A and B are shown apart, each in its own frame.
Chain A
Amino acid sequence: MTLSGPARWALRVFMGVGLTFIYVPLLLVLVNSFNGDRTFAWPPHDLTTRWWAAAWENDGARQALITSVRAGLGATVIALVLGTMVAFAVQRFAFFGRDTVSLLIVLPIALPGIVTGIALDSAWRSVMGDLGIGKGMFSVIVGHATFCVVTVYNNVLARLRRTGTNLEDASADLGASPSQTFRFVTFPLIRSALLAGGLLAFALSFDEIIVTTFTAGPGVTTLPIWIFNNLFRPNQAPIVNVVAAVLIVLSVIPVWLAQRLAGPEAGASRT
């Protein structure tokens, strides 16, 4: 389609406005973290780095960060194992109910988070509680892993579709055992997809608040929960500002890494 010059310019302007819309709020949080006022005042009167120092010293935020990292790692490991297994099953085999399996994997992110959250909550109260397993870190990891499987699944499935099985067949023809083929051919082929999928799973878990709210036992405070708990406390506002700013800066890392590892399509969806 040959677009006229003005049409191209209109689209370019639209893109610029769209990107401004996306980035202005994020920049505002960054600026605000240096705001000298304790109560938010716009525009800021003076700039200071003392909130950054205070946030660094804040015990609650630090503990929450550690909890989030642990939950994220647990969920990512489970998602990596389960997601890879399903991806291989769906890509390498034709079987009855294959579409149902892929729908089942997508379901936890296609249904609202509050449904997943309250479902796990009621399962824990009605069943697991009776079995003597209370809510805690374990229930958080179970909840996160359930919706993280899909990110690994999608990444590995896309990679398996692209690479095909020729190299594995060649390896088998040349006399390699199945385990050798997996170690020297299959695994290296999917390694970067695993890394990208795992990274996205971790980021998804790290950011999740709704499912966490419903599955966290007493004393399990992830970073999003900590932020939410402190969001409406005026005394904590400057520290929340800094934590928010840090999270914006850190969000560049997974995108950058995923791009490097698996090409532009990695992380091209929430899934």
Chain B
Amino acid sequence: MSYLHRHPRLRLAALLSAPLLWLVVAYLGALTVLLVSAFWTVNGFTGGVVREFSLANFRTLLTEEVYRAVTLRSLGVAAAVTAICVVLAVPMAFFMAKVASARSRHWLVIAILTPLWASYLVKAYAWRILLANGGPIDTLLGGPGNGPGYGLFATILVLAYLWLPYMILPIYAGLERLPDSLLEASADLGARAGRTLRAVVLPILIPSIFAGSIFTFSLSLGDYIAVQIVGGKTQLIGNLVYANIGAANNLPFAAAIATIPVVIMVIYLVAVRRSGALEEL
């Protein structure tokens, strides 16, 4: 112990070795295997995996229309979910951080946090009940079939519902750090509320919004379970991956499809990194 104490480099190595070994071997190692197996193929007769380099999977992905359609649909869903979450989260977070009293602020944070820890499946299931044919939303709108039912709209709605707290919390944290005196100074200098929002609040919020969007975007992009529960016939990237692993038993092709969200997320992470979003996670 005292030997370690005198040698900070050794201490650092001792601290880092186990976690890095885990993340590099278990996680990056697995991602590498995934990437490599995306270049393998499946023998059509035996169903066995042929471990030889081939671009066949990626050729299929690029040439067949259905994959482009599903990718664009998934991107659209992820973008729509993120946009809905931002529109709902900014006023809610603003109210929590700047309007509510200190006491109610504490309770509001708890109120936002609690559903975050309620089970994902339970929440999706709740929406299945709500949106069911003849369910509460139909009844509210005047009879069976009047509500949106299951489908693409339901998928976007449910995903936005599921990830909303992930957007509210970073924005709230960002706003809480913004001193009230800054807002007062802006008002003293003659800025109206709209101007203050644009010139003072928004620049501070941008990294927080991006931080939240990493979750809403990534979680929507890879989801296939909520889609199965309320999506009707809708298919997203996640469903294709799942179908190819399960029913089709084509792991190499599933791996190739899974590189799509990885590439999209890496581009997204690199794009938002400069805003300082990663420090807000």
Contacts and interface: CB of A to CB of B under 8 A. Distances in A.
A116 B193 CA distance: 44
Interface stretch (B52-60, B62-70, B119-127): B119-127
Given A178-B5, A270-B166, A122 B238 contact: no
B169 A269 contact: yes
Interface in B231-281: 237-238, 241-242, 245, 251, 254-255, 258, 261-262, 265, 269, 278, 281
Of B26, B221, B223, the most chain A CB neighbours within 10 A belong to B26
Interface size band for A: 35 or more
A207 interface: yes
B205 interface: no
Contacts of A26: 115, 118, 122-123, 126
B215 A178 contact: no
B117 A254 contact: yes
Contacts of B91: 11, 14-15, 18
Contacts of A55: none
B202 interface: no
A93 B12 contact: yes
A224 B119 contact: yes
B194 to A, nearest CB: 10
A137 B267 CA distance: 34
B245 A118 contact: yes
Given A21-B161, A111-B261, A255-B114, 16 more contacts: A24-B130, A82-B22, A89-B12, A104-B27, A110-B214, A112-B218, A112-B219, A112-B223, A112-B265, A113-B222, A115-B31, A115-B222, A203-B117, A227-B125, A252-B114, A255-B117
28 contacts: A3-B193, A11-B94, A15-B96, A18-B92, A29-B126, A32-B129, A40-B135, A42-B134, A85-B15, A86-B15, A86-B19, A89-B19, A102-B278, A113-B219, A113-B222, A118-B245, A118-B255, A119-B30, A119-B33, A121-B251, A123-B33, A149-B22, A209-B225, A214-B245, A227-B119, A227-B122, A251-B115, A255-B117
